[in-house]
């Protein structure tokens, strides 16, 4: 996988994780706090209305309930405003705590009815339910009258509930003017029973009897209340910052961990390449970097290793070239020195034959030096070419004419086969030098009585030049080294044939600079064929 894709994927993963975690936390926190706020609000409402109803249920009046409102406001944190059903204010927690009353919010008032709800046993007939309702009216009326008197007198009131759900009042210090409640007289009882009798034919009778109960006790029951909670522009509860901070820290740690892993993936191979480059600079050309994967870092590592291989190969070629040059020059120079010292000391006579031999040896060394200079310039791209249109047939005929004396002296037949002119763009002198090197090698490798043939043939947009000999041939294992500098199949590296060992290297470089190719095919005992392929179209000038 590409390194860029991995980086992009990691950053997207971190971004998506952070976004998802933040969204999840916000939604979860908001939902939980909304539920908690709703539950807390419902609990507060239930507690406030429950305690207010219990006060009215047990005291028969709303006198003295202001401290209870203040305590409820303090415990629940709610602003509480209590008024009668007709809107007459009774208590306001803001006023009770000494602050200016704040404007009420838009929430509707909550209705608090302190009167009990009638409940009847299952399967009870309407007549029996009516009798229980009349009894409940009598008991509630008596209890509320007594409770209101005790409350206004400041007595301690204890409320109990009978089996009908009606309140009963006890006090340890009953004032003299608050007499014990008495049962309703017969006239009141009959009046209540007559009012409830209309419900005998109503189904269901429960709501009808509850309405009769409320109407017959309205004179003694505390009035219903309107309770308003909160105030205008009240701030909603803020989200808790702790979980949000925790998730943010977690996401930040994940991002840091991802960055560390990414930096390790990047810096570890970079550090290895840095150490390897330092080692190469200090001369350790065998240092390489470990490579795995197929991303950009891996490709960089492979390119570094190829560069190191190239440097090492170049260093090996330079060492081999230096050794080859020293080997090629040491023996002839030693011979020249020996003969010159012998001539100086009078050990040998300066005969014409000896002077001719020494002169030929000096010419051979000069040729080696000139070839080395040409090869160095060619490999550096600094060899000068004077390109123009030329006829390869004329070039081959000129090469044949130049080498025919050498061929005749060696007893070898040199034949040129170029029936048609073939035009290419190139440097005539340099191409003649390349072909001449091939012909010279072929003549030296061919025994007397054999044949060397130069042939030219067009092949589409290509021109094919072949130099074929019928010499002893070259073993297959030697062919890959044939164009190496100073390489010779003869291990003794003698110069009996007069070659410098650089001709094939120079020929290959010249042909390559002309955007051509040179190949060799050989069979031991049959002969060798060198093939040069050039394009007949013009090539760009160098």
- Assign residue 466 the CATH number of its domain: 3.30.565.10
Query: What is the distance, to the nearest Å, from the Cα of residue 484 to the centroid of all Cα atoms in its chain?
Result: 50
- Its domain, for residue 326, covers 286-339
**Does one domain contain both 438 and 484?**
yes
CA separation for the pair 350, 434 (Å, rounded): 38
- Token pair of 30, please? 């908001």
Q: Taking residues 194-219, report their average pLDDT.
A: 88
Distance CA 404, CA 416 (A): 10
Query: Which band of pLDDT confidence, cut at 50, 70 and 90, is reported for residue 240?
Result: low
Mark whether 131 and 90 lie in a shared domain. Answer: no
Question: Does residue 470 fall inside a structural domain?
Answer: yes
| Same domain flag for 21 and 153 | no
Positive or negative, the CA dihedral 278, 282, 285, 286 is: negative
DSSP structural state of residue 190: H
If asked whether residues 161 and 61 sit together in one domain, one would say: no
The structure tokens listed for 193 are 């029973």
11 & 60 share domain: yes
Whether residue 423 is found in the same domain as residue 447: yes
Residue range 145-150: mean pLDDT, rounded: 87
Q: Is the domain of 134 the same as that of 84?
A: no
Task: Answer yes or no: do 414 and 318 share one domain.
Answer: no
Question: Does position 496 have pLDDT exceeding 50, yes or no?
Answer: no
At 38 the pLDDT is: 60
Q: Which of 112, 143, 176 is the last residue of a domain?
A: 112
pTM across the whole model: 0.44
Find the mean pLDDT for residues 494-511.
71
Domain's final residue, options 204, 221, 238:
221
Q: Are residues 518 and 398 in the same domain?
A: yes
pLDDT tens digits, 253-281: 777 777 677 666 667 777 888 888 888 88
User: Residue 517: CB partners within 8 Å, gap ≥ 6?
Assistant: 511, 532, 533
489 and 514: one domain? yes
**pLDDT for position 282:** 83
Residues 23 and 145 grouped into a single domain:
no
- Residue 411's pLDDT is what? 93
The 10 Å CB-count burial string (b at 16+, else e) for 350-368 is eeeeeeeebeebeebeeeb
Residue 539: the pLDDT is 45
Q: What's the mean per-residue pLDDT of the chain?
A: 82
Backbone phi, psi, residue 288, to 5°: -135, 165
* 1 or 191, higher pLDDT: 191
Q: Which of 320, 339, 358 is at the close of a domain?
A: 339
Question: pLDDT tens digits, residue range 28-54?
Answer: 777 776 676 666 568 888 888 888 888
Q: Widest CA span of the chain, in angstroms? A: 180
Number of domains within the chain: 4
pLDDT tens sequence across 400-449: 999 998 899 999 999 999 998 999 999 998 899 899 989 988 998 888 99
165 CB contacts (<8 Å, ≥6 apart)?
A: 116, 117, 118, 119, 136
Q: What share of the chain is helix, strand, coil (3-state, %, to 5)?
A: 55, 15, 30
Strand partners, 520: 530
Q: CA 495, CA 328: separation in Å to the nearest integer?
A: 9
- In the chain the first and final C-alpha atoms are separated, in Å, by 42
pLDDT, one tens digit per residue, over 286-308 is: 888 888 777 777 888 888 888 88
């Amino acid at each position: 996988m590409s390194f860029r894709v991995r980086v992009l994927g990691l950053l997207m993963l971190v971004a998506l994780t952070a976004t998802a975690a933040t969204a999840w936390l916000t939604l979860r926190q908001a939902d939980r706090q909304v539920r908690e706020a709703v539950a807390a609000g419902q609990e507060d409402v239930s507690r406030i209305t429950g305690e207010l109803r219990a006060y009215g249920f047990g005291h028969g009046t709303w006198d003295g309930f202001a401290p209870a409102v203040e305590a409820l406001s303090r415990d629940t944190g709610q602003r509480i405003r209590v008024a009668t059903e007709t809107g007459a204010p009774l208590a306001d927690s803001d006023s009770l705590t000494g602050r200016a009353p704040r404007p009420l919010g838009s929430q509707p008032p909550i209705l608090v009815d302190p009167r009990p709800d009638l409940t009847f046993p299952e399967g009870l007939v309407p007549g029996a339910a009516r009798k229980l309702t009349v009894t409940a009216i009598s008991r509630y009326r008596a209890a509320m009258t007594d409770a209101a008197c005790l409350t206004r007198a400041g007595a301690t009131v204890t409320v109990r509930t009978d089996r009908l759900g009606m309140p009963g009042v006890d006090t340890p210090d009953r004032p003299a003017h608050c007499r014990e409640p008495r049962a309703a007289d017969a006239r009141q009882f009959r009046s209540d029973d007559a009012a409830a009798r209309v419900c005998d034919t109503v189904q269901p009778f429960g709501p009808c009897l509850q309405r009769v109960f409320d109407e017959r006790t309205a004179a003694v029951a505390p009035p219903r209340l309107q309770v308003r909670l909160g105030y205008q522009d009240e701030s909603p509860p803020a989200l808790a910052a702790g979980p949000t901070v925790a998730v943010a820290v977690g996401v930040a740690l994940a991002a840091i961990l991802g960055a560390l892993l990414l930096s390790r993936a990047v810096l570890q191979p970079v550090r290895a390449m840095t150490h390897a480059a330092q080692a190469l600079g200090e001369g350790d050309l065998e240092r390489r970097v470990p490579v795995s994967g197929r991303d950009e870092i891996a490709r960089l590592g492979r390119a570094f290793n190829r560069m190191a291989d190239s440097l090492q190969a170049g260093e090996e070629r330079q060492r081999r070239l230096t050794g080859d040059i020293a080997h090629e020059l040491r023996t002839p120079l030693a011979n020249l020195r020996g003969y010159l010292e012998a001539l100086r000391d009078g050990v040998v006579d300066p005969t014409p034959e000896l002077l001719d031999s020494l002169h030929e040896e000096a010419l051979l060394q000069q040729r080696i030096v000139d070839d080395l200079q040409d090869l160095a310039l060619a490999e550096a791209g600094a060899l000068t070419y004077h390109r123009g249109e030329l006829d390869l047939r004329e070039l081959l005929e000129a090469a044949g004419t130049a080498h025919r004396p050498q061929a005749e002296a060696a007893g070898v037949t040199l034949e040129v086969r170029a029936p048609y002119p073939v035009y290419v763009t190139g440097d005539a002198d340099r191409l003649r030098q390349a072909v001449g090197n091939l012909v010279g090698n072929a003549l030296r490798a061919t025994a007397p009585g054999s044949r060397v043939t130069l042939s030219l043939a067009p092949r589409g947009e290509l021109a094919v030049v072949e130099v074929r000999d019928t010499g002893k041939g070259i073993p297959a294992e030697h062919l890959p080294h044939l164009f190496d500098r100073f390489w010779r199949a003869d291990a003794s590296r003698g110069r009996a044939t007069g070659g410098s060992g650089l001709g094939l290297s120079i020929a290959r470089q010249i042909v390559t600079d002309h955007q051509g190719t040179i190949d060799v095919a050989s069979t031991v005992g049959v002969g060798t064929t060198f093939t040069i392929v050039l394009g007949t179209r013009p090539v760009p000038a160098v």
